[in-house]
Structure 1
Amino acid sequence: MNKSSSDPKQRFKYYGTPGKDFARFDVNSDLPEEVQPTPRYEAHLGLQVFPTLPLIPPLNWGLFSGLAKRFGFRSMAGPNLQTWMPANLSRLHRDKFSDEYFVERRLNGFNPGKLNRVKDQEWQYAVNYQTGRYKAEPGGLLPEYSEARFVLEGSTLKVHSIKYSLKNQTIICFPTDAQKWEDAKYYFRSAEYVFQEIQSHLGRTHMNMNQYAMAFYRNVINSPIRELLFSHFEGLLSIDKKGAALIIGDTGFIPEASALDAKSVEGVLADEIATLTYHWSPEKQTLPDPIDNNYFDRAAVAMWELLKTYVAKFFDDNQRKIKNYWSEIEGMSEDLVTHSILKQELGTLAIKDEKDLQQLCVYVIYHCTFFHSWVNNKQYEDGGDIEYTAIGLWDKDDPNYDPKKVQERHDAQVKLMWSLANVHYNPALEFAPLPLKKLLWEYRDRIEPGIPLGLIMMSINI
């Protein structure tokens, strides 16, 4: 083996310019052998997604491709699509357009942790999205600003009003405003969907973890930290390399299906990554008031606590060897700092001591397991029903409106959301180290019903 092929810094090359482009594996380079998808992963992926093969980058599908063609899945499209695809949570709900369900999804849906406490207003909580900073395509209906407000009555959260700006007109709607109120909720859900995909899903999990994986693969070889983190990075660089063409870019799903253009999608993504640091914990986002059905906060804090216990015990058991190979951690730290686009006022991604390293490990495992499982697996619950929410809305009165293209975009949304939400490869309860499995079971009552314990995956592999 020549030096270049054995040197991890030659095999794991960064994309773009350090400190300017968000840190990730160079999609133009070949994926190193140790991060290639396993045959078991490809078989598992094929079993789950063969109905949606046209949306998935080419793999060696074999039998699955033939079955898909035989049963007509390749031609699934049009107004019957939603009845052909498996039902999602909103379709099964007795009143998916109710205000109660609207509140519940803001607490426990696919874009959690967005509620902010508000002072000196009639309402106590709000979620807002400022999409006006980014460019929408001609004919796209995307509010420049959208804010849902909520009032706390005892331990119950209720929706108060929605304020949004569309076509330079600011509108405030209340639950008593009949159809205008339903329109306001629909616009809000669409804006939320765009930001879920770019910020929470792609940004905070896939691309955020990519920067830690790159620094890890390039430097950590002999340190016990390799044993601790390696399984949690499985599949990440591979799926991100595929996703660069599938999800973002000029022909990616989000620019194609949403009203945002490709440049704006990457702008939202970079802006989000610039705010993310491993010096974070769920306590910083939890709601200060007890709310009966706030399952996400309870689950997030529980997961963080058990991971702190798990990581601390690992460090105690491996402390001497971690110190012996601290130079590898210094190399990882240097790569993180050099390639980070973190805002200066938020500090640095440097790993200064063992306390920092423990915090980083908890942060990485939390996002690769619990948080990604939550925001990925719940996508179909909301995004699998166009009536309930669409990532792209289009003005029928605009000369650019094309009903056929809109239908194709809606088809792509439903099929892709089903695919992403249904690949459950390497569940933690089966493949995690025994100490982590035991802790997950111990904390089960606090993690559920926010997310079933069996749906927490070991890594970001889809």
Structure 2
Amino acid sequence: MVLAAFRRLLASLGLAAREAEPDLLDPEELTRWYTSLTPEERMAVSRELAPRVRRPQAVRDPATLPAVAVGRLVFEQDGPQGPLPLHHLKIELWDRDPGSPDDYLGEGFTDSEGRFEIRYDPADAGMGDLPDLELRFFEPQHTFRKDGRVVESWRRIGSERGPDDHGGLFYDFGTLRLPYWEYDPAAPLARLLVTEEGTPPTAYAPGRSMAMLKAVAPIELVKRQHLLRVRLGHAPSLAEVQADYPESTTMRLERQSPGSTRSDAYFGERLLNGMFSTILDRDPEVSGDPHAFRLYFPWNAYEQDGIHCLPDVDVRLRLVEGRLMPMRIILGLREMGAKAAHSPVTRQTFTPSDGAQWEAAKRMARVSATLDTELGNHLGQCHLNVEQYAIAAHRNLRRNPLRWLLMPHLREVVLINHSASSFLVGPHGYITRASALTERGVETRLQHLLGSYDWRGFAPAAPVCEGHRYGHAAQLFWRLLGEHIDAFFAEHGSAVEAHWLEVRRLSDELVAHSVPAFVCRYLRARIAGKDAPWFVRSERMNLDEKAADPAPKAISPVTQTDVPQPGELEALKQLCRYVIYFATFRHAWANNLQWEDAGEVLYSCLGLRWGKEGILVGEDDAEVAPAPDRATEMLWISWMLSKTNYGFIVANEESDVHPRLAELLRSHAANFAAWGLDIGTVSSRINI
């Protein structure tokens, strides 16, 4: 009986009807129960109940069905040539029946131009009922079984109502605009459009919310108490602020061995292996010396607030008995209060023989490296860089099996970036308030950074010494990613080529929405088109190509044809490797070490203030250090970032990552551990 089936279905959904006779349910009660369900539960009821309501029918050839619905799906926003087709999207046609289960009529997919045609039998709407037409749109989802086989499913993303009581055999829905993974036309970078009252077209995995609550709950009250005391005019001291948080790594090391974290050796070790880990160029002034290195942070190129001091920082280092030691720090200092980009600077050089001023210069260099890490290695190269690939992939990959490879690593980055748009940057963001950079300075820096990132030719730089644990771990992770991607293409390469149109459109959108390539005046003069063996090129874009005038786009195309040309399949594999690397390993290294390297306010922070005695003063000068409200926010953020973790590659909680990658990494866990990385802590995507 239909009603008994309905009862069983309610029970399977966890919705128990009141006790009644086994097969009795009056129409009013049936209507009441059905209308109380969510849209997803109604769809489940309709799908399960429809075959039991109708008489069994023989499988029918859709071409023989008497009625047809047609139309075209396009994105909400047009491209330069007009409407952009929403290709290969699944569409179902339904008969709406308010108060009772809807009737499924048929389904189809949009073609390459977004057009669809769904044939159906109006009689499927029920005896004496003319169909009330409705289109429902679905995007593909997947999980992997333990043997690597894919299980596909569908997620409803929208609907469009057609006519009521449609008695004809043909209906044209016309051109329908679907607001689906749209680019923000007002953003200078490739960002997802999320309206003020809207929500992103995706959601966090349920376990991530629990991980966030578990990490933040113990320190949330601490931060609130500090901020309340500041507002009431009884601000805590920096020592009080620090003591109220868990003991940081540097404070623990100082307790065990005073002075150890302020030593030259520790300074160099953290530049090699801490969250600051970045590219180390050879020192161009010591030509041919394989042991001399340089780090340079050009902050004078950006507008500053005049309150904080953020000079250009030029650090010269040398490998001494396997340890990276700072030998010289050159600071390009503005006048106090100077705000304009490219303000006049006075250069001062400091060496270990300068005593207290050397220690102050190292502190300034640590602050500079921290800010560069947060804006560059973390927010820029991982979060915002990966977002542009995520938007293009979600807009274009549906039939191509490339979706199975990439989507697990792109699924949540737009969500966390949407939060960061106001939380970290913008007029009231923490970076804007806590560092010397103004909102405009932050925006310009991020545009310059995104203008220097390209997938083509990228490979992690070689380790500079045996103790360069980050460099060794990066090399191994990159190699294993290559093996994983090669195996995937060996299995699915022919299907990837068969659906190359989606790759073409992904590539076109990546290029179209990337910023112009940025090559500063120094690099144009010293590197582009020249032999510069001291300059590490493997992690940088091709300066000879990108320094052209007018500037090309930062991201290089994979293809410009609908059929792969020689070498383009390898180019696509390189793009995949690049994206997964930054969404996983590179982000994990910069993010997970936040508390280790940014868990003590006096050791490192995002900005030091001009004090009465200038800027090169001791750590005990509270006028130079961050204010208590900035300090507690910094410690809260550092703890939250490094302690909120969910969605690991090895754990594969959502079963969306191919198990081969987890096994590859697990088989080399001991190697990673020797270099200081617990491979089980590397997330499969950026969600914090």
Q: Compared with structure 1, are the counterparts of its residues 162 and 398 closer, same or farther at alpha carbon in structure 2 (3 Å cutoff)? A: closer
1:2-401 to 2 correspondence within 5 Å? 5=158, 10-16=179-185, 21-28=188-195, 30-33=198-201, 35-53=202-220, 68=221, 74-76=224-226, 78-79=236-237, 80-93=240-253, 94=257, 95-121=260-286, 124-143=292-311, 145-167=312-334, 168-283=345-460, 285-287=461-463, 289=464, 291-343=465-517, 345-346=545-546, 348-352=555-559, 353-397=568-612
Taking only aligned residues, the RMSD between alpha carbons, in angstroms, comes to 2.5
Equivalent-residue separation in structure 2 for 1:211 and 1:398 (angstroms): 45
Equivalent-residue separation in structure 2 for 1:119 and 1:254 (angstroms): 32
State the shift of 1:228 in Å.
Answer: 1.0
Q: Compared with structure 1, are the counterparts of its residues 193 and 444 closer, same or farther at alpha carbon in structure 2 (3 Å cutoff)? A: same
Q: Compared with structure 1, are the counterparts of its residues 8 and 160 closer, same or farther at alpha carbon in structure 2 (3 Å cutoff)? A: farther
Equivalent-residue separation in structure 2 for 1:427 and 1:92 (angstroms): 28
Equivalent-residue separation in structure 2 for 1:376 and 1:27 (angstroms): 25
Between stretches 243-252 and 450-459, larger displacement belongs to: 450-459
1:139 touches 1:398 (CA, 8 Å); kept in 2? no
1:8 touches 1:217 (CA, 8 Å); kept in 2? no
Does residue 411 of structure 1 match 2:632? yes
Equivalent-residue separation in structure 2 for 1:320 and 1:373 (angstroms): 33
State the shift of 1:111 in Å.
Answer: 2.0
Q: Compared with structure 1, are the counterparts of its residues 405 and 106 closer, same or farther at alpha carbon in structure 2 (3 Å cutoff)? A: closer
Q: Pick the aligned partner of 1:429 from 650, 674, 685.
A: 650
SS of residue matched to 2:189: coil
Instruction: Show structure 2 runs of 5+ residues with no match.
Output: 1-134, 138-156, 160-175, 228-235, 335-344, 519-544, 547-551, 560-567, 615-621
1:5 touches 1:11 (CA, 8 Å); kept in 2? no
1:146 touches 1:188 (CA, 8 Å); kept in 2? yes
Equivalent-residue separation in structure 1 for 2:194 and 2:277 (angstroms): 30
Equivalent-residue separation in structure 2 for 1:25 and 1:8 (angstroms): 17
1:51 touches 1:74 (CA, 8 Å); kept in 2? no
State the shift of 1:154 in Å.
Answer: 4.7
1:134 is aligned with what amino acid?
Answer: Y
Equivalent-residue separation in structure 1 for 2:605 and 2:670 (angstroms): 33
User: Which structure has the higher relative contact order (CA within 8 Å, separation 6+)?
Assistant: 1
1:281 touches 1:304 (CA, 8 Å); kept in 2? no
Q: Compared with structure 1, are the counterparts of its residues 46 and 368 closer, same or farther at alpha carbon in structure 2 (3 Å cutoff)? A: same
Q: Compared with structure 1, are the counterparts of its residues 412 and 224 closer, same or farther at alpha carbon in structure 2 (3 Å cutoff)? A: same
1:170 is aligned with what amino acid?
Answer: R
Say how many residue pairs are matched.
437
Q: Compared with structure 1, are the counterparts of its residues 442 and 84 closer, same or farther at alpha carbon in structure 2 (3 Å cutoff)? A: same
SS of residue matched to 1:334: helix
Between stretches 217-226 and 168-177, larger displacement belongs to: 168-177
1:281 touches 1:363 (CA, 8 Å); kept in 2? yes
2:317 touches 2:328 (CA, 8 Å); kept in 1? yes
State the shift of 1:9 in Å.
Answer: 6.9
1:12 is aligned with what amino acid?
Answer: W
2:210 is aligned with what amino acid?
Answer: A
Between stretches 334-343 and 206-215, larger displacement belongs to: 334-343
* Larger Rg, first or second structure (1 or 2): 2
1:340 touches 1:349 (CA, 8 Å); kept in 2? no
Equivalent-residue separation in structure 2 for 1:294 and 1:115 (angstroms): 11
1:282 touches 1:300 (CA, 8 Å); kept in 2? no
Q: Compared with structure 1, are the counterparts of its residues 73 and 156 closer, same or farther at alpha carbon in structure 2 (3 Å cutoff)? A: closer
Q: What is the match of residue 42 of structure 2?
A: none
State the shift of 1:243 in Å.
Answer: 0.9
2:200 touches 2:415 (CA, 8 Å); kept in 1? no
Equivalent-residue separation in structure 2 for 1:172 and 1:456 (angstroms): 40
State the shift of 1:8 in Å.
Answer: 9.9
2:392 touches 2:510 (CA, 8 Å); kept in 1? yes
Equivalent-residue separation in structure 2 for 1:445 and 1:119 (angstroms): 37
Q: Compared with structure 1, are the counterparts of its residues 371 and 8 closer, same or farther at alpha carbon in structure 2 (3 Å cutoff)? A: farther
Equivalent-residue separation in structure 1 for 2:177 and 2:214 (angstroms): 33
SS of residue matched to 1:186: helix
2:435 touches 2:606 (CA, 8 Å); kept in 1? yes
Q: What is the match of residue 540 of structure 2?
A: none
Equivalent-residue separation in structure 1 for 2:495 and 2:511 (angstroms): 24
2:558 is aligned with what amino acid?
Answer: I
- TM-score w.r.t. length of structure 2: 0.60
Post-superposition Cα deviations, 1:394-446, rounded to whole Å, max 9, x if no partner, equal: 112299x9899822111111111111111111121110432111111233344
- TM-score w.r.t. length of structure 1: 0.88
Equivalent-residue separation in structure 1 for 2:214 and 2:322 (angstroms): 43
State the shift of 1:89 in Å.
Answer: 2.0
Equivalent-residue separation in structure 2 for 1:104 and 1:406 (angstroms): 28
Q: What is the match of residue 57 of structure 1?
A: none
Give the share of equivalent positions with the same residue, in percent.
26
Q: Compared with structure 1, are the counterparts of its residues 46 and 127 closer, same or farther at alpha carbon in structure 2 (3 Å cutoff)? A: same
Between stretches 127-136 and 319-328, larger displacement belongs to: 319-328
1:8 touches 1:218 (CA, 8 Å); kept in 2? no
SS of residue matched to 2:317: strand
Equivalent-residue separation in structure 2 for 1:51 and 1:207 (angstroms): 29
State the shift of 1:351 in Å.
Answer: 1.6
Equivalent-residue separation in structure 2 for 1:433 and 1:455 (angstroms): 17
Greater helix share, 1 or 2?
1
Greater strand share, 1 or 2?
2
1:140 is aligned with what amino acid?
Answer: H
1:416 is aligned with what amino acid?
Answer: I
1:298 touches 1:446 (CA, 8 Å); kept in 2? no
1:306 touches 1:443 (CA, 8 Å); kept in 2? no
Instruction: Show structure 1 runs of 5+ residues with no match.
Output: 54-67
Q: What is the match of residue 666 of structure 2?
A: 441
State the shift of 1:119 in Å.
Answer: 3.9
Equivalent-residue separation in structure 1 for 2:625 and 2:293 (angstroms): 39
Equivalent-residue separation in structure 2 for 1:404 and 1:364 (angstroms): 37
2:649 touches 2:682 (CA, 8 Å); kept in 1? yes
Q: Compared with structure 1, are the counterparts of its residues 444 and 405 closer, same or farther at alpha carbon in structure 2 (3 Å cutoff)? A: closer
1:381 is aligned with what amino acid?
Answer: E
State the shift of 1:222 in Å.
Answer: 1.7
State the shift of 1:51 in Å.
Answer: 3.9
Equivalent-residue separation in structure 2 for 1:427 and 1:304 (angstroms): 17
Post-superposition Cα deviations, 1:73-111, rounded to whole Å, max 9, x if no partner, equal: 631453322112122222222311011100100001112
Equivalent-residue separation in structure 2 for 1:460 and 1:414 (angstroms): 21
SS of residue matched to 1:370: helix
Q: Compared with structure 1, are the counterparts of its residues 425 and 12 closer, same or farther at alpha carbon in structure 2 (3 Å cutoff)? A: same
